[in-house]
Chains A and B, each alone.
Chain A
Amino acid sequence: MHGEYKTPGGKLVVVDFDIVDGRFKNMVISGDFFLYPEEELPVLTNALEGVDVELDDESFSERIRMDLHPDTELMGTSPEGIVIAVRRALDGYES
């Protein structure tokens, strides 16, 4: 599944994933955002891996927020922006 969301005035975030047994699998998060340090990308990507797709948006973004190191700078998108892309993918929104 594929979803995209561009934060107004910010950057594009793209999510691609499968759903296996009702859970996110093979999550890939990409886009033209900035992330410091760059080594945090797997943290971002793993935050939703294996999570129940039936949870609500707030639960998804909370997972991402909790996993990111407090000193990590994510610029141009946000946990909430990533979740909008995820929600669009789940809803089959064409982007």
Chain B
Amino acid sequence: MSYPNDPTPEQQADWDNRFRSVNWTLLPSPPLAPRAQNAMDEVLLEEMAAGRRGPHIRFWNWQSKAVIIGRFQSVKNEVYEDAAAAAGITISRRMTGGGAMLVEPEGSITWTIAAPDAMVKGMSFAESYQFFDSWALNALRELGVEAWYVPLNDITSTGGKIGGAAQARKHGIALHHTTCAYSMAPGVLTSILRIGKEKLSDKGVTSAEKRVGPLRQQTDLDRDVIINHMIECFRNQYGLVNDNFRSEEMARLGELVAEKYDTPEWVYALP
């Protein structure tokens, strides 16, 4: 079965070779505070740039609910701040562009994949987005979720939009992270995120909620089962060795949260 925008067999073979060109490690998934999760990407990117950390994948777990906004989004244009505060939702700004996402501890599946940008040499940005998520789409399809890529950065399905991706390119490293909705309580999204009609103007739907198709609506599998399947798919295809965070990385994480991700100067960089 083929889906819209699938790579050609030649393209898939090229992508496979690229993925196999490095040694991948899998990092652990301790629940972190939302702003620490966003800071962790930057810590690991810095460590890779310094040659102390190799290509890796990590899945994210959350200590609390959060709205993660894109690097270039304005807080007031994206979030009903009073409603977010009342619901105990932290606002956190990530280092990458793209749109706001609402995450709850068991409500989404989020991961980061990071590699030297030589891995995507000669690719357009658009192709590199699809490349970095290609293994994940295949893993979801094996679980019966009929998902495909919509350039630039969306993952959609027969049941609606599942998720989206964003990428940082810095210091010779490509860092790509993706969030898929797993389950979502009705009404929550539109009470927290300010989604104007202009944003939906080319989507052919009248509400953001109708647009989203969380994985839980398309499979009975637990979140952990899906994540484990994704990990094993990657491991079987491209190799993956389990690793841990180094104590220096955890120390740097604390610093970076305090000096950047937890500060109003960063969170409200675009007020």
Q: How large is the interface on A (under 10, 10 to 19, 20 to 34, 35 or more residues)?
A: 20 to 34
Distance of A55 from chain B, by nearest CB (Å): 24
**Known contacts A32-B73, A34-B166, A75-B125; A6/B97 CB under 8 A:** no
Q: Which residues of A contact B201 (CB under 8 A)?
A: 6, 8
- B70–A32 touching, CB < 8 Å: yes
Question: CB-CB contacts of A31-56 with B at 8 A, as 1s and 0s?
Answer: 11111111001000000000000000
- Distance between Cα atoms of A37 and B170 in the complex (Å): 8
**Known contacts A30-B74, A37-B170; A6/B100 CB under 8 A:** no
Q: Does B190 contact A (CB under 8 A)?
A: no
Extra 14 A-B pairs, beta carbons < 8 Å, given A33-B72, A34-B152, A38-B97:
A4-B198, A6-B199, A6-B202, A9-B202, A16-B74, A28-B74, A30-B72, A30-B73, A30-B77, A32-B98, A35-B71, A37-B169, A76-B97, A95-B196
- A34–B202 touching, CB < 8 Å: no
Q: Nearest residue in A to B202 (C-beta to C-beta)?
A: A8
- B167–A34 touching, CB < 8 Å: yes
Q: Can you show 11 pairs from A to B with CB atoms below 8 A apart?
A: A6-B198, A12-B198, A30-B77, A32-B73, A33-B72, A34-B125, A34-B166, A35-B72, A75-B97, A76-B97, A95-B197
List which A1-19 residues lie within 8 A (CB) of chain B: 4-6, 8-12, 14, 16
B→A interface (CB under 8 Å)? 70-74, 77, 95-100, 125-126, 152-153, 166-170, 196-199, 201-202, 270-271
Q: Nearest residue in A to B271 (C-beta to C-beta)?
A: A28
Q: Does A67 contact B (CB under 8 A)?
A: no
Distance of A21 from chain B, by nearest CB (Å): 24
- Distance between Cα atoms of A9 and B74 in the complex (Å): 21
Q: Which 8 A-B pairs have the closest CB atoms?
A: A32-B99, A34-B97, A30-B74, A8-B202, A4-B198, A95-B198, A30-B270, A12-B199
Q: Which residues of B contact A31 (CB under 8 A)?
A: 72-73
Residue in B72, B100, B196 whose Cβ sees the most chain A Cβ within 10 Å? B72
Q: Which residues of A contact B197 (CB under 8 A)?
A: 95
Q: Which residues of A contact B96 (CB under 8 A)?
A: 34
- Distance between Cα atoms of A31 and B98 in the complex (Å): 8
- Distance between Cα atoms of A62 and B152 in the complex (Å): 25
Q: Which residues of B contact A37 (CB under 8 A)?
A: 169-170
Q: Nearest residue in B to A8 (C-beta to C-beta)?
A: B202
- A73–B125 touching, CB < 8 Å: yes
User: Which of B77, B97, B100 contacts A35, CB < 8 Å?
Assistant: B97
- A32–B100 touching, CB < 8 Å: yes
- B196–A38 touching, CB < 8 Å: no
User: Which of A5, A14, A29, A33 contacts B97, CB < 8 Å?
Assistant: A33
